[in-house]
Each structure stands twice: as structure tokens, then as C-alpha cells.
Structure 1
Amino acid sequence: MPDVSAALSYRDAYAKLSRIAAELESGEADLDRVLPLLDEAKAAYAACVGRIEAVRAVLAGSWGTELVGIPETQSGEDPDADDEERDEEDETA
């Protein structure tokens, strides 16, 4: 199956996910159709996530993490690490 996730807009991918969910939830989907529907849903989901991540990356790069709601701790730093080091220094002093 070709990767169509990059070709789908967010709106199209979301609409596809909604349509697939409705079909599966209705219980009317033929068993032979379930696997192809799940493959379609996986591609649509990947397209949605890709678009969201692209926007998040642009916002974080342009405006900084504090404006897009990304906690600074996600940058890989442990905010409590300095406190622990200070506590250890106080105990040895």
C-alpha cells in the first residue's frame, strides 16, 4: 500500500478517520473490509499526527516553547536535578 499520509491534508485525514470510525462503530462493516479500513485509518492517523507535529515544531522554533504549551522539562532537562545536587552539597558541607 502506498504511503498517502503525506498527500492528505489534516482536514481530509480527519474526515477519513471520522468516516472509518462511524463505519466500524455501526457494526455494518463486512469482516473482509475491516483490515483495509484499519490500514486506511492508520495512514490517515499518521497524516494527522504529522501535520500536528509540523505545526508544533514551527511554533516551538519561531515563538519558543513557553508560547505553545510545551513544558521546558520536555527539552530533556531534569528540573529537579539542580535541587538534588544542592541538597547533596548541603549535606557534605
Structure 2
Amino acid sequence: MRPMNGSYREAYATLSRIAAELETGEADLDRVLPLLEEARGAYAVCRERIEAVRAVLAGEWALGEDSDLPGADDPDEDEEL
């Protein structure tokens, strides 16, 4: 098993491959533990990337950098009576 330190796309592909192998029900019992360990590493990479994006977005919204979004200044701006 190689350590997971790649991109989100690679980690997601790894998770998909492992899920497909486990879903068949044909994975040898001796292979299940290494697969789960590999999946844990891939999951950690995906989660880290997602949390990084969330943090950036939360920071931008907190700073008001989303002002180009409709209704950003006035929540009722897009509502028509």
C-alpha cells in the first residue's frame, strides 16, 4: 500500500475502486484489511481538500467578498412583489 498524498481526484478514484471491489463481495478476506487501510488514507486526502475549500469559502464570505452574488448586499433585492 502506498501512502496517500495525491490529488483529490486520485484519492476519489482510489475510494471508488475500493468500494467497487468490496461491493462485489468477492474480495479475499486477507485483502479486506489492506483495502480498508488504503481507503482510510484516500478518505483523509478527500476530506482535507474539502475542508480546505470550505475554509477558503467561509473566509471569503466572512470578508464580504461575495458581493458580486445576487442579493449579497440586500437579501430582498431579488424578490419581486
Task: Tell me the TM-score normalised to structure 2 length.
Answer: 0.70
CA distance in 2 between partners of 1:9 and 1:41 (Å): 14
More RCO (CA 8 Å, sep 6+): 2
Give the aligned partner of residue 79 of structure 2. none
Instruction: Provide structure 1 residue ranges, at least 5 long, that are not aligned to the other structure.
Output: 68-93
In the alignment of these two chains, the number of paired residues is 65
Deviations 1:4-33 (A, max 9, x none): 34x221111111000000000101111000
Amino acid across the alignment from 1:52? I
**Higher Rg:** 1
4+ residue runs over 4 A deviation: none
1:42 aligns with 2:61: no
Give the aligned partner of residue 27 of structure 1. 25
Give the aligned partner of residue 61 of structure 1. 59
Task: Tell me the TM-score normalised to structure 1 length.
Answer: 0.62
9, 12, 30: which one aligns with 2:10: 12
For the aligned residue pairs, the C-alpha RMSD in angstroms reads 2.2
Compare the two structures and name the one with the higher helix fraction.
1
- Give the C-alpha shift of residue 63 in structure 1: 2.6
Instruction: Provide structure 2 residue ranges, at least 5 long, that are not aligned to the other structure.
Output: 67-81
